[in-house]
Amino acid sequence: MQETKGVQQLQQILQEQRIERRQQLEFELQDAIDRQRADKSTIESKLKQMQIEQLWREKKQQLRNIRRRIRERKKNEREKEEIRREKEILSEERELQRQEREMRKNEALKRKKKKRKIEQMQILILKNLLHPAHYLKLFAKDHPAQI
């Protein structure tokens, strides 16, 4: 009986050890699962952080690109304005040159008329058709500064 009692005690001790071992294994398994979840959570948070950082870099790059395009547009607008001003200046210069040519032409026509009139008067004087005093009076009337 004592042997059966000793066997029963051994069986009970073995049973308790199996239960402890099972509990230990279950605990270790649960701990490993928890660590894996923690690792997964850490990995997911790191991945989210990396995605956020990537998104932030992309947004910053987009902002830089927008600012660059704005600078380019302003530069183009300034260049267009400069070109427009240069064209205005050129057209004003052309207009002034045209006016100057016109003035010279008019002055040349006036000189030509004056010369023709003087030549005609000289011809009349030479032909003795016009008295010299009368000629002087006509000349003084047309050209008071030259007498």
Residue 138 confidence (pLDDT) above 70: no
Domain that holds residue 117: 2-146
pLDDT tens for 8-60 read 888 888 899 999 999 999 999 898 888 888 878 888 888 899 999 999 999 99
Please count the CA atoms within 13 angstroms of the CA of 88 that sit on its side-chain side.
Answer: 6
Q: Is the pTM of this model over 0.85?
A: no
pLDDT tens for 108-129 read 999 999 999 888 877 777 766 5
CA 101 remoteness from chain centre:
43
Burial class (CB in 10 A: 0-12, 13-18, 19+), 138: middle
Query: Pick from 116, 97, 98, 119: which is nearest to 108 by CA?
Result: 116
When divided into structural domains, the chain yields a total of 1
